[in-house]
Structure 1
Amino acid sequence: MRPRRTDPGRRDRIIDVALELIAEVGVAGVSHRRIAERADVPLGSMTYHFAGMDEVLREAFTRFADRVAASFEAHLSAAADGEQAVTAVVDLIHELSDRAGGRDQVLTYELYTLAARDPRYRAITTAWMARSRHELERHFDPTVTRQLDALIEGLALHRALDDDPFDRTLTEQAVRKVVGPVPTPRPGGGRR
């Protein structure tokens, strides 16, 4: 009898491959067979690990949203003051639009398309936006935070899809228009 092959990372690999395929061919082009083939797993692994394609997609998009939210956290938690927070937002916009040749933007809009029609996917986008706004609120008031959250997505989309993407100067100008005057820290702490 042949020893049973162990593959403890199989489920994670399937989710990662699902994201790769969604970025390449869109949700409509993804199937159990394509994922299994690309992940180098038996087709039966798909039904062993997931109740159906909907579960694969929800888990894949949840992983994606968690990764992008973690990027917000990394950028914004490192900012010590308002000026650094503005720089962090500009960096974040450029990272999101440049990452993997715009791959994240494709994934974002594939998720948004599903979320527009299905509350289960909207729950993913709602949780993602809440996490992003929470990180922005470390430095900005709630009204500015909502505006910045939308600006980040819009500018990242335009940079990712434009054949001649704009530079950091335009991005910073847009962020500063939303943020307004950045309070300067006082010696000994606090803002003025």
Structure 2
Amino acid sequence: MGVGKRTTRDPEGRRRMIIEAAAELIVEDGVGGLTHRKIAARAGVPLGSTTHYFESLTDLRDAALEFLAAMMDSGLAELGRELAGDQSVARVLARVFHQYLSDPVRVRADAAFYVVATQDPGLRPLATRWFDGLVDILSGITDQQTAVAVAVYGDGAMLHAMLHDTALSEEELEMTIERLMENTNA
């Protein structure tokens, strides 16, 4: 053995680094731009690591999407806590939507993810996770139809931001959400 410093192997840490690198690339370039080479370069690992830890690029992509979905779940949990506070539901939603819609990289990545999910039905549960989670949260505040209408509006606002390269203002978002919710107790 050499006299140099030994490094401790951390297979789970390396696997996590690869997943996180793939997730970052999905957010930046969309699902279709993933390659083993790009992921390994981003993670700072040898190219063979991506195939050592994942049988296929599809398996790695799915692990990265699950990672992003878990982050989405955290965001939904935080949104649920905020909506339970004293602020107007429309104001909170408008602020959260606006923050998201003001990030063009994320909006493009999510739009690309939606497109891929239409081609791969196995990805649909991940692609609809935010929508379904938002409807679940809002259904505790308003009726089911209104919850769905607000979630659909959020998806439409995402497409608007992508096509127009700008987010609707918080005021525009709040006004529309208030109108959608005006016949409820929110």
The alignment's C-alpha RMSD in Å is 2.4
Shift of 1:172: 0.9
In 2, Cα distance between equivalents of 1:172 and 1:89: 7
Shift of 1:176: 1.3
- Report what 1:117 is aligned to: 119
Q: Amino acid of the residue matched to residue 79 of structure 1? A: L
What is the TM-score normalised by the length of structure 2?
Answer: 0.84
Instruction: Give ranges in structure 2 of 5+ residues lacking alignment.
Output: none
The size of the alignment, in residue pairs, is 182
What is the TM-score normalised by the length of structure 1?
Answer: 0.81
Give yes or no for contact 2:90–2:177 (8 Å, CA) kept in 1. Answer: yes
Give yes or no for contact 1:105–1:156 (8 Å, CA) kept in 2. Answer: yes
- Report what 1:9 is aligned to: 13
Instruction: Give ranges in structure 1 of 5+ residues lacking alignment.
Output: 185-192
- Report what 2:92 is aligned to: 88
Distance 1:29 1:126, change over 3 A: closer
Pick the aligned partner of 1:152 from 146, 149, 154.
154
Distance 1:182 1:142, change over 3 A: closer
The alignment partner of 1:9 has SS state of: helix
Matched, 1:72 2:109: no
- Report what 1:172 is aligned to: 174
Sequence identity of aligned pairs in percent? Answer: 26
- Report what 1:183 is aligned to: 185
Distance 1:86 1:177, change over 3 A: same
Cα deviations by residue, 1:56-92 (Å, 9 ceiling, x for unpaired): 1112122222322322321232224786222221122
Which is worse superposed, 59-68 or 134-143? 59-68
